[in-house]
Structure 1
């Protein structure tokens, strides 16, 4: 079978991802991948605005990505943007500028579609079995929650409470103050009322966290064990007791101290504190012994979507 080459650009609020793949029907091979901490939400996300500095970083990164895509001779580009762009008053102009400068058409996806693609990515990772799970992906702008199993989504919702938003609203001191944690928890209790009811209705048996923060938490856990994560492994387990130890430490350290934790990466060091507070809150709604962590998330969901198409024309149409 002759593979189809494709480029996936995930323009997240915190991180831009590029994945170059070859598609073979129901499987894919990764040719190249890269992530850049563009932080497009920094300086304006809670004002629904893409700050000029953030736009400059984004365009610089997209120019670099386009150079790599052209170098591989790839014509099929599937680019999508999420919370920061879809909520920004200048988001439409930003997308038009990208199209004009780089001939890249950016699909600005809504929260429902984002949640569905995250589910597809988690399902592709092999994280799910016959049980019903609560799945979550903590982005910089939004957080997606999905309840479902290997066969279907039973419930899903996107909440505009992502890491950059929580960071700007609540993490005013370093280390974070207990008062700020309490205010964040009260905020989450109010915002996530629909999730609480969904958990009561569907009674998921487990929790799956996708990519991002969960990748870093498992990196820290494995580093503490002096073990390396398997390169081709997509699913990892993090005992709740170990998560609680890591989160407890994160909440008491300064940024400089957090950077020294083995397994920590600089691009996660700011948001991981508020993200850990969110996970701690979710564990009060769904007490589990183990957190399942999926390496696959939104961008792999996009790949799954591409593999499910009889013709890629509709996906890559301009």
Structure 2
């Protein structure tokens, strides 16, 4: 009988926040591995606000990043993490000083950050439990909304048929940095890839849709309807920022981006003619853990 528990960590450096996920993988004889989340820490550092407006990460956020990574290095140490990966997406990808910041963090904390593109990001997310939710006889449009970009993937016959990343993100929308032309491009592309199929379901991921799903009190696995999401969107808009924090119990850094996030999901549902959106609790960090495990078992 063989039994082993391995510990891995994933650091996801997004445009709206930086997350550390520590997970264990239990290996028992010839049974499939069991993945379990042990700890998830989220620090609300909005790198996108800097990058999308000034083209670089400012000194204040740079110092906050260093402190966050120092704390993440300590947490990984006390959790006895064997291996980790730190991936940065849209904001650091576009920052003129992105590589410079990555070098500084490596020097100060020992954490090595890899800056990845949208297609690499989509491929990592595809390593998650997403496939267990995709049925061969159904068609899905997977929509992952971030602060700087949104990744779309169409699944049909149990496999990915088309994938694309658009620079339509919540932080960009807050700063009025998404052109009508870009919205039109996304609309045309989604309508085009969904056109051959009579029925498409949406799969939504990202902190905002997870928050909306949690507040809906739907039982696990049940979808949100277009009507529900649309009415929730109207409700959000009827409140001031302060009211959203107080009455809806939203985090300060969530209470503003949740509105543009809703707009992206509703647009995707409208263009794909989807009546429902399913919300699997997965994201980039989950995919990173799977990718470390897959590389390890080779």
Calculate the TM-score normalised by the size of structure 2. 0.88
Which of 250, 253, 276 in structure 1 is aligned with 2:239?
A: 253
1:119 aligns with 2:126: yes
Q: Does 1:72 align with 2:82?
A: no
SS at match of 2:23: strand
What aligned pairs does 1:75-94 form with structure 2 within 5 A after superposition? Answer: 75-94=82-101
- Contiguous gaps of at least 5 residues in structure 2: 28-32
Farther off after superposition, 16-25 or 95-104? 16-25
Q: Does the alignment pair 1:297 with 2:278?
A: no
What is residue 20 of structure 2 aligned with on the other side? 18
For residues 233-288 of structure 1, the C-alpha deviation after alignment (integer angstroms, 9 at most, x for no partner) is 5x452122111110011223210122234353333111111111222221221222
CA distance in 1, matches of 2:227, 2:242: 25
Q: Is residue 194–residue 200 contact of structure 2 (8 Å, CA) maintained in 1? A: no
- Residues in 1 aligned to 2:202 and 2:180: alpha-carbon distance in whole angstroms: 19
Give the C-alpha shift of residue 185 in structure 1. 6.3
**1:3 partnered with 2:5:** yes
Gapped regions of structure 1 (runs ≥ 5)? 171-182, 223-228, 313-318
Is 1:146 the counterpart of 2:153 in the alignment?
A: yes
Cα distance in 2 for residues equivalent to 1:142 and 1:64: 27
Structure 2 partner of 1:178? none
Tell me the equivalent position of 2:57: 50
User: Aligned partners of 1:85, 1:184: CA distance in 2, in Å?
Assistant: 21
CA–CA distance in structure 2, aligned partners of residues 86 and 68 of structure 1: 26
Taking only aligned residues, the RMSD between alpha carbons, in angstroms, comes to 2.4
- What secondary structure sits across from 2:42 in the alignment? strand
Match of 2:195 among 200, 215, 219: 200
> Which of residues 210, 216, 219 is equivalent to 2:214?
219
Q: Distance in 1 between matches of 2:64 and 2:168?
A: 23
1:273 aligns with 2:259: yes
| Structure-2 change in CA distance of 1:303 and 1:202 (3 Å) | farther
Q: CA deviation at 1:205?
A: 1.9
Conserved 8 A contact 1:219-1:263: no
* Deviation by residue 1:84-139 (Cα, 9 ceiling, x = unmatched): 01111100001111111111111111110111222333516x43222121001110
In the other structure, the counterpart of 2:37 is 30
Moved more, 288-297 or 303-312: 303-312
- SS in structure 2 of the partner of residue 295 of structure 1: coil
Q: Which runs of 4+ in 1 moved over 6 A?
A: 183-186
Deviations 1:119-161 (A, max 9, x none): 333516x432221210011101111101115842211111122
8 Å Cα contact 2:84-2:292 kept in structure 1: no
Query: Secondary structure of the residue that 1:10 maps to in structure 2?
Result: strand
| Aligned equivalents of 2:200, 2:293: Cα separation in 1 | 29
CA contact (8 A) 1:211 1:294 kept: no
